[in-house]
Structure 1
Amino acid sequence: MKMNKEDIKKIIPHRDPFLFVDEITDYVPMTYAKGIKKFDESMDFFKGHFPEFPVVPGVILVEAMAQVGAIIVLQHDTYKGRIAFFAGANKVKFRRKVLPNDVAVIECSITKMRGNFGIGFGKIYVDNELAAEAEVTFAIQ
């Protein structure tokens, strides 16, 4: 199942400039999704992070993984129309810089669901190279 940006906006409440998933290219209900985000050089955060050497902030990479995780869970009938709040991040590792105009492939797998709480594990690749990974925790309201 593929989703474009308009489809994604029907699932999660995030909007530009804080929507960090352009499309979903692969989706397995309540299990896994793969998304794409092009970090266009015109994005505002590049102006200050860092002016002489722009890099996508690590927290934005973690947020992108969490958004893909939210897309997985909020497609389920039990959670449709609700909001997944980011509750925590563990095992966060940044392995390479993500630069202006890089295209990030964002993968997330749901590893645990208990009621309205869940855990996912995400990875981001740029040019087939692992750029970041994190365990993300969320609460659904």
Structure 2
Amino acid sequence: MSELNVMDVMELIPNRFPIYYIDAVESLEPGKKIRARKNLTANEDFFQGYFPDEPQMPGTLILETLAQAGSVLILKSPEFLGKRAYIGGINRAKFLEKVYPGDILYCEFEITKMKGPVGTADAAAYVGETRVCEAEFTFIVNQDA
């Protein structure tokens, strides 16, 4: 059972089709960490053009999905209510495995440091138990939500 469903997430973040990727939040510790998922189907628009003979999810979209999970975490944290989160930077991104139609992408995002409105987080994406991507995010939380 999910802690947050698609409609719950859509109430939090401004992203919409075709750049909305979170299907559910499985676990959430406000101010600390989140685990969300994206169910990938062959109908995703990017699969049509990204290596059509071997469709796969582009790495940039895996990072975007991780960022959206991070946004949900930040915006569900009491100290950030009514604010908006932005990516400030992505460091040490590594793409370890390909992600294909039919996969379920699990996104974990854990805040490691906050200093004022700027924070850092460790993020990783998995298919099953296999880590497919990892990165460190810098994010900025603003009042203009």
Query: Could you say which TM-score interval applies, normalised by the shorter chain?
Result: over 0.9
Give, in whole Å, the separation in 2 of the partners of 1:57 and 1:88. Answer: 18
Residue in structure 1 matched with residue 16 of structure 2 by the alignment: 15
Question: How far does residue 5 in structure 1 lie from its aligned partner after superposition?
Answer: 0.7
Runs of 4 or more, structure 1, over 6 Å off, are: none
Residue in structure 2 matched with residue 81 of structure 1 by the alignment: 82
Q: Which region of structure 1 is more displaced relative to structure 2, 126-135 or 81-90?
A: 81-90
Question: How far does residue 132 in structure 1 lie from its aligned partner after superposition?
Answer: 0.6
Give, in whole Å, the separation in 2 of the partners of 1:89 and 1:137. Answer: 6
Question: Do the aligned residues in 2 keep the contact of 1:33 with 1:107 (CA within 8 Å)?
Answer: yes
Q: When the two structures are superposed, what TM-score results if normalisation uses the length of structure 1?
A: 0.94
Residue in structure 2 matched with residue 130 of structure 1 by the alignment: 131
Question: Do the aligned residues in 1 keep the contact of 2:37 with 2:105 (CA within 8 Å)?
Answer: yes
- Matches of residues 63-82 of structure 1 in structure 2 within 5 Å? 63-82=64-83
Question: How far does residue 70 in structure 1 lie from its aligned partner after superposition?
Answer: 1.2
**Equivalences, count:** 141
Q: When the two structures are superposed, what TM-score results if normalisation uses the length of structure 2?
A: 0.91
Q: Residue type of the partner of 1:94?
A: F
Question: How far does residue 76 in structure 1 lie from its aligned partner after superposition?
Answer: 2.2
Residue in structure 2 matched with residue 118 of structure 1 by the alignment: 119
Q: Which blocks of at least 5 consecutive residues in structure 1 are unaligned?
A: none
Give, in whole Å, the separation in 2 of the partners of 1:87 and 1:43. Answer: 27
Percent identity among equivalent residues?
33
Give, in whole Å, the separation in 1 of the partners of 2:11 and 2:116. Answer: 23
Question: Do the aligned residues in 2 keep the contact of 1:34 with 1:105 (CA within 8 Å)?
Answer: yes
Q: Which blocks of at least 5 consecutive residues in structure 2 are unaligned?
A: none
